[in-house]
């Protein structure tokens, strides 16, 4: 039996309601020591999952709060154990006093993610579901939340478990033949497995492909704003961010470092990176900024090239445009449209060219249209998008081992040679679902959580 843990689940802010969680079999006895039920003689009489009124008392018997409690009997609770939640008034002082009373009554402080870890350990969720819990908590767009909610509901697990079952079947059949040669076990024809194995590899490949969208869903689109000094890059960033984030001056070369700002452009989360104006320079500090700009352009999901439309394009503009052409997603903005323009869209080698005025915000709606079209592909965020780097890496290894098993089959290798690959693939998949994951990795996963979840 695991010990009883307690934590505040609603953080350390003043809120209308603050929730304290208690989990561990027998936790109702601990709850009873600090909570005087108003209408029931004891927690054993309290109906399951019903909010009941009572008074929380500190160690001296003084009232801490009059509040509600809900008792959920294991195994049908979040953690799989008996749990009690107190819905208190959300003052950090009230919650701290209540927590202290619970510790004195026998509970211990919960570690980060310990409630969810217990749910995983008790078989209430697999690791894909447990990891999605933190993604759901941290989701900052409706799409990211929808995808995480789908994964908490088991969408990813349902995709992976038939594949894992195919591999398990294959391995167990093979081992049965090997270990019990005298038994009448159907002969092992690896070729019978070829088709199913190939279908499994395809399914993993589809999942792996979803990761580029998943990364964007999780981290946002990284967008580098490029252009020579003074064309209005910082002004554009400020216009998009809706507040002053970068000091705007009319002395060229003042944005010496890159500045990052996250903004929502409709449903797309953009991580805008304002780069130092790119141009050939002798200035050492500025040269570092220029180098950073080049790197930002190379690593960005989206490159936004800005030029000053009120003056002719320069050699520097041309050089910077060359940096942008390698990017799969690039947009050119002809800025300062209020000053009249001498630069035509046809002068710029971009698919998307938009005249804008960073000062008035004109043209930004059109920019938003293009960005939305580029990055919301309309595919459902139902949990089938892979967003987690750890999962991506494990599935990639599972996929590669599967390909190598398939190749072994084609080449007619002996079953034991092929099965080494199959077992490797299984083990990598097990890291995703939690079937074979090592204790130290499990520990690290739950450290990402907050206390109380």
- Residues found near ligand GDP in the complex (CB under 6 A): 227, 229-235, 248-250, 255, 277, 335-336, 338-339, 357-359
Nearer residue to ligand GDP within complex by CB, 223 or 357:
357
CB of 295 to ligand GDP, least distance (A): 18
Nearer residue to ligand GDP within complex by CB, 46 or 239:
239
Rounded-to-integer distance, Cα 422 and Cα 428, Å: 10
CB of 362 to ligand GDP, least distance (A): 8
CB of 337 to ligand GDP, least distance (A): 7
Rounded-to-integer distance, Cα 320 and Cα 283, Å: 18
CB of 371 to ligand GDP, least distance (A): 19
Nearer residue to ligand GDP within complex by CB, 229 or 415:
229
Nearer residue to ligand GDP within complex by CB, 118 or 336:
336
Nearer residue to ligand GDP within complex by CB, 315 or 382:
315
CB of 275 to ligand GDP, least distance (A): 9
Q: What is the Cβ-side half-sphere exposure of residue 391, based on CA atoms within 13 angstroms? A: 30
CB of 358 to ligand GDP, least distance (A): 4
CB of 307 to ligand GDP, least distance (A): 10
Q: Which value, in Å, is the radius of gyration of the alpha carbons in the chain?
A: 29
Nearer residue to ligand GDP within complex by CB, 185 or 247:
247
CA distances in angstroms from 369 to 95, 258, 331, 373, listed in the order given? 47, 26, 12, 6
CB of 255 to ligand GDP, least distance (A): 5
Look-up of token digits 């990639």: 396
CB of 339 to ligand GDP, least distance (A): 5
CB of 367 to ligand GDP, least distance (A): 13
Nearer residue to ligand GDP within complex by CB, 135 or 274:
274
Nearer residue to ligand GDP within complex by CB, 102 or 320:
320
Nearer residue to ligand GDP within complex by CB, 44 or 318:
318
Rounded-to-integer distance, Cα 207 and Cα 205, Å: 5
- Spatial CA neighbour of 233 closest among 312, 136, 333, 135: 333
Nearer residue to ligand GDP within complex by CB, 293 or 388:
293
């Amino acid at each position: 039996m695991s010990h009883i843990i307690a934590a505040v689940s609603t953080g350390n802010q003043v809120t209308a309601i603050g929730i304290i969680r208690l989990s561990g079999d027998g936790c109702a006895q601990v709850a009873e020591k600090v909570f005087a039920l108003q209408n029931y003689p004891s927690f054993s009489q309290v109906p399951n999952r019903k909010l009941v009124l009572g008074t929380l008392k500190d160690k001296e018997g003084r009232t801490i709060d009059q509040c509600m409690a809900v008792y959920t009997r294991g195994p049908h609770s979040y953690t799989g154990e008996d749990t009690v939640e107190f819905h208190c008034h959300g003052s950090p002082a009230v919650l701290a006093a209540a927590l202290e009373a619970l510790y004195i009554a026998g509970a211990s402080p919960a570690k980060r993610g310990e409630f969810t870890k217990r749910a995983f350990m008790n078989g209430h969720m697999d690791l894909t579901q447990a990891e999605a819990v933190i993604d759901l908590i941290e989701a900052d767009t409706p799409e990211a939340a929808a995808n995480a909610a789908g994964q908490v509901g088991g969408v990813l697990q349902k995709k992976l478990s038939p594949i894992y079952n195919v591999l398990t079947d294959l391995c167990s059949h093979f081992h049965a033949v090997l270990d019990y040669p005298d038994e009448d076990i159907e002969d092992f024809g690896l070729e019978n497995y070829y088709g199913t194995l190939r279908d499994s590899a395809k399914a993993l490949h589809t999942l792996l492909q979803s990761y580029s969208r998943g990364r964007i869903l999780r981290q946002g689109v990284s967008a580098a704003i490029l252009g020579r000094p003074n064309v209005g890059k910082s002004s554009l960033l400020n216009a998009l961010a809706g507040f002053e984030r970068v000091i705007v001056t009319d002395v060229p070369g003042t944005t010496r470092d890159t500045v990052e700002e996250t903004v929502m452009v409709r449903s797309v989360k953009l991580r805008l990176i304002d780069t130092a104006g790119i141009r050939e320079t002798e200035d050492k500090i500025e040269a570092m900024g220029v180098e950073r700009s080049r790197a930002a352009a190379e690593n960005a999901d989206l490159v936004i090239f800005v030029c000053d439309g009120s003056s002719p394009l320069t050699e520097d503009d041309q050089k910077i445009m060359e940096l942008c052409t390698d990017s799969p997603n690039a947009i050119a903005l002809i800025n300062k449209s209020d000053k009249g323009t001498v630069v035509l869209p046809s002068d710029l080698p971009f698919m998307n060219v938009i005249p804008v005025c960073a000062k008035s915000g004109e043209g930004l709606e059109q920019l938003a249209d293009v960005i939305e079209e580029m990055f919301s592909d309309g595919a459902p965020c139902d949990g089938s998008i892979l967003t987690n780097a750890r999962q991506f890496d494990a599935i990639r290894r599972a996929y590669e081992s599967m390909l190598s098993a398939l190749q072994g089959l084609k080449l007619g290798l002996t079953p034991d040679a092929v099965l080494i690959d199959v077992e490797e693939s299984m083990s990598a998949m097990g890291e995703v679902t939690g079937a074979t994951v090592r204790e130290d990795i499990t520990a690290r996963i739950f450290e990402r959580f907050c206390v109380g979840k």
